[in-house]
């Protein structure tokens, strides 16, 4: 999608892929970094009541997340908590020659990812979900969708 960094990578659509015994997940070709060796950040994201997923941030989004954390007041106790959780529950991954990432065992367990995964585009990043948890999240999102879309008018 991007050529020499002049256009922004867009992560859209939903994909369902198998997960092999080494916990490797195929990344859709349109979502792959244009240059080899680019690191993506995997974060166990515990935000939803339905369960955790793996949030995948490209370098630009990870830099923005770090800037947002740094901009928080040092007096705000949430800053340390967020930095500790995100720092300890994340890792850098690169795609192999076949376009796959390998999810560390602890992260796969935390997100309930076993033999299948759903990759969900979020425009500037994507998430990796256990298929059953994703169905619950999708249903919960649809309940709130009409209210959320009112902000787009």
Distance between CA 53 and CA 36 in Å, rounded?
25
108 has pLDDT over 60: yes
Q: Considering the entire predicted model, what is its pTM?
A: 0.89
Decide if 9 is inside a domain: no
pLDDT digits (tens, 9 = 90+) for 21-47: 999 999 999 999 988 899 999 999 986
Is 68 part of any domain?
yes
Classified as helix, coil or strand, 34 is: coil
User: Does 120 fall in a domain?
Assistant: yes
Instruction: Quote the number of domains for the chain.
Output: 1
- Per the domain annotation, does 1 fall within a domain? no
Residue 5 covered by a domain: no
CATH number where 90 lies: 3.40.1550.20
Q: pLDDT tens digits for 85-94?
A: 999 999 999 9
Q: Tally Cβ neighbours within 10 Å of residue 9.
A: 21
Answer yes or no: is 18 within a domain: yes
Whether 3 maps to a domain, the answer reads no
Q: Which residues contact 84 (CB under 8 A, 6 or more apart)?
A: none
Q: What are phi and psi of 84, to 5 degrees?
A: -65, -45
Mean pLDDT of the chain: 92
> How wide is the angle at C-alpha 59 spanned by C-alphas 31 and 54, nearest 5°?
65
Q: Cα angle vertex 69, ends 118, 107, to 5°? A: 30
Range of the domain at 127: 14-150
pLDDT at 6 > cutoff 80: no
Residue 8 counted as domain residue: no
């Amino acid at each position: 999608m991007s050529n020499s960094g002049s256009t922004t990578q867009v992560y859209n659509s939903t994909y369902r892929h198998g997960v092999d015994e080494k916990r490797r997940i195929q990344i859709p070709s349109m979502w792959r970094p244009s240059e080899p060796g680019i690191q993506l950040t995997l974060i166990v994201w515990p935000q939803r009541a339905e369960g955790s997923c793996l949030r995948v941030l490209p370098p630009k989004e990870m830099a923005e997340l770090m800037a947002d954390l740094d901009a928080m007041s040092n007096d705000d106790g949430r800053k340390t908590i967020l930095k500790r959780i995100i720092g300890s529950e994340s890792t850098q991954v690169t795609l192999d020659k076949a376009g796959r990432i390998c999810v560390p065992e602890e992260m796969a367990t935390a997100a309930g990812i076993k033999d299948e995964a759903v990759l969900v585009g979020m425009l500037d990043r994507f998430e990796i979900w256990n298929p059953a948890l994703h169905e619950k999240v999708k249903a919960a999102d649809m309940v709130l969708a009409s209210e959320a879309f009112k902000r787009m008018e």
